[in-house]
């Protein structure tokens, strides 16, 4: 009997993990006509020039990097400690934290330095350029190709490490960080790529300690870029690529991509971006027993937090627990209210997928999609602030477009990433635009 039960669940897991997906159907979402396509004949029609598409892609990349850079100096810090050292953060600060595999890779970096949040978007961007056609097939993006790319990248880093002169200490330490950054991801990806169900389940359950982390959210915004105005397609592809997520974290990752796709639409509004939590549910989370769709409840909580904070009509209604810089007393009181409400929903570990999601969307709604205010909200709220700000920054960067981002923040982040991090976001954006646009996506 036990053997039969075990066999039944193995078959079910296999069908879910590796089963076929439904074909696309002709539909119209926003200003975009979507037609059933195949890998050999991928065509989308959208009223968007290549210049506008590039402006949105570059806006997403740079907006995300700005959020990452604003949060990097104080990632995971206690709010009280951040206030002592930095006061209210309303600009970019130098990064003086100890280097780590997931953080910055060098000491004493200048303003605008970024962490793994930007590295993962660059990583996914390079993959999308290499496999652009895969994002426009009849099926959503292929997770096995993505897993193969992760393992091949890890193996390449291992070769670099082994060929490094052991007395070239600076490069040796850097290559060690590159290995450490990818090693747990590679263990999961290798098991998935080889279709070893037992090994995949084993490695995924141990991934970064096994919590419901924001793993897929690090690269999820990128998956929304090929699908402007089509959050359903973005969700489906992102869910397939969320091979490092557990439980409803896969839904969080896919919804992050859906918000990004909605923000890429020329006719996007805050309401159309947030409507994905209600309208995009191809896997029928709403119909699940007991808890239903936990991400929708997280969205509703965030919406209530935002509205209740805005309802504060006098600064005397809330006791401020920190300095709010140059903000007027009423707005400071409203922001403090929002902080208090988010505190009530804190998870045990700050990189938890639902917590990152709630911080990001609460900030966007409370700040009415204002880019700078949203970045300041998230950075000063704290917790895993670089990741939350990178997610919101990518969505808002696409929503507003690169040319409408704050010029002072843009200039510093572009320069520092190019000269100190080896990341040229402008070149990446251009290559992505050329690859995705010319491959018939738009």
Residue-wise pLDDT tens digits, 98-117: 999 999 999 999 999 999 99
pLDDT for res 47: 72
* pLDDT tens string 236-292: 999 999 999 999 999 999 999 999 999 999 999 999 999 999 999 999 999 999 999
pLDDT for res 225: 97
pLDDT for res 152: 98
CB 418 within 8 A of CB 400: no
* The pLDDT of residue 362 is above 70: yes
pLDDT for res 339: 98
Considering only 15-24, 31-40, 211-220, which range has the smallest mean pLDDT?
31-40
pLDDT for res 442: 58
* The pLDDT of residue 327 is above 70: yes
* The pLDDT of residue 52 is above 60: yes
pTM of the model: 0.90
CB 148 within 8 A of CB 118: no
- Integer Cα distance of 219 and 232 in angstroms: 17
Percent of the chain residues past pLDDT 90, beyond the cut: 87
Residues 6+ away with beta carbon under 8 Å from 201? 13
Mean pLDDT for 65-82 is 96
Give the CATH superfamily of 30-441. Answer: ADP-ribosylation/Crystallin J1 (1.10.4080.10)
Mean pLDDT for 349-367 is 97
Torsion of CA 146, 152, 154, 158, to 10 degrees: 180
Average pLDDT taken over every residue of the chain: 90
pLDDT for res 41: 36
* The pLDDT of residue 1 is above 80: no
- Please tell me the chain's helix, strand, coil percentages from 3-state DSSP, rounded to the nearest 5: 65, 5, 30
φ and ψ of 282, to 5 deg? -65, -20
pLDDT band, very low/low/confident/very high, at 169 (cuts 50, 70, 90) = very high
Residue found under tokens 């206690």: 78
First to last CA, the chain: 54
pLDDT for res 311: 98
Domain boundaries, the chain: 30-441
Angle 130-221-144 from CA coordinates, rounded to 5°: 45
Angle 166-170-174 from CA coordinates, rounded to 5°: 95
The two three-digit tokens of residue 103, written as one number: 């953080």
- Integer Cα distance of 252 and 28 in angstroms: 24
pLDDT band, very low/low/confident/very high, at 42 (cuts 50, 70, 90) = very low
pLDDT for res 23: 39
In Å, what is the CA distance from 425 to each residue of 107, 375, 414? 22, 19, 7
Residue 219's nearest CA partner among 377, 420, 61, 381 is 61
Residue found under tokens 């208090």: 340
- Integer Cα distance of 69 and 25 in angstroms: 40
Mean pLDDT for 306-326 is 97
* The pLDDT of residue 19 is above 70: no
The two three-digit tokens of residue 15, written as one number: 């069908």
Dihedral (CA of 361, 367, 368, 371) sign: negative
Mean pLDDT for 162-186 is 95
CB 432 within 8 A of CB 222: no
- Integer Cα distance of 16 and 303 in angstroms: 32
pLDDT band, very low/low/confident/very high, at 17 (cuts 50, 70, 90) = very low
Q: What is the DSSP letter of 313?
A: -
CB 395 within 8 A of CB 273: yes
* The pLDDT of residue 196 is above 60: yes
If phi over 0 gives left and psi between -120 and 50 gives alpha, with beta otherwise, what is residue 371?
A: alpha
């Amino acid at each position: 009997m036990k053997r039969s039960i075990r066999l039944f669940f193995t078959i079910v897991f296999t069908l879910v993990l590796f089963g076929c997906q439904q074909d696309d159907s002709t539909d119209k979402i926003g200003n975009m006509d979507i037609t059933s396509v195949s890998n050999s004949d991928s065509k989308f029609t959208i009223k968007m020039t290549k210049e506008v598409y590039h402006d949105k892609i570059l806006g997403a990349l740079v907006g995300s990097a700005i959020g990452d850079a604003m949060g990097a100096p104080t990632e995971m810090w206690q709010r009280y400690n951040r206030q002592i050292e930095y006061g209210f953060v309303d600009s970019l600060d130098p990064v003086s934290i100890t280097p780590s595999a997931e953080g910055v890779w060098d000491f004493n970096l200048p303003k605008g330095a970024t962490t793994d949040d930007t590295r993962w978007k660059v990583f996914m961007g390079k993959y999308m350029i290499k496999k652009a056609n895969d994002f426009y097939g009849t099926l959503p993006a292929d997770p096995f190709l993505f897993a193969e790319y992760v393992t091949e990248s890890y193996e390449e880093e291992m070769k670099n490490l082994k060929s490094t002169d052991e007395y070239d200490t600076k490069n040796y330490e850097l290559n060690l960080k590159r290995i450490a950054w990818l090693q747990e991801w590679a263990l999961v990806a290798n098991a998935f790529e080889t279709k070893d169900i037992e090994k995949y389940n084993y490695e995924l359950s141990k991934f970064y300690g096994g919590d419901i982390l924001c793993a897929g959210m690090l690269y999820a915004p990128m998956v929304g870029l090929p699908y402007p105005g089509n959050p359903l397609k973005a969700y489906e592809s992102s869910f397939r690529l969320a091979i490092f997520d557990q439980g409803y974290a896969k839904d969080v990752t896919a919804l992050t991509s859906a918000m990004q796709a909605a923000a890429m639409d020329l006719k996007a509004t805050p309401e159309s971006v947030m409507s994905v939590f209600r309208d995009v549910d191809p896997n029928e989370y709403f119909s699940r027993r007991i808890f239903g769709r936990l991400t929708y409840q997280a969205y509703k909580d965030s919406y209530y937090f935002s509205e209740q904070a805005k309802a504060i009509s006098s600064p005397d209604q809330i006791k401020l627990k920190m300095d709010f810089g140059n903000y007027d007393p009423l707005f400071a009181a409203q922001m403090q209210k929002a902080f208090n409400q988010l505190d009530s929903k804190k998870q045990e570990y700050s990189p938890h997928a639902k917590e990152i999601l709630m911080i990001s969307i609460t900030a966007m709604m409370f700040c009415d999609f204002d880019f700078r205010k949203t970045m300041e909200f998230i950075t000063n709220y704290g917790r895993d602030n670089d990741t939350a700000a990178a997610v919101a920054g990518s969505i808002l960067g696409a929503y507003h477009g690169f040319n409408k981002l704050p010029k002072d923040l843009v200039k510093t982040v572009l320069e520092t990433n190019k000269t100190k991090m080896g990341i040229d976001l402008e070149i990446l954006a251009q290559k992505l635009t050329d690859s995705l646009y010319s491959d018939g996506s738009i």
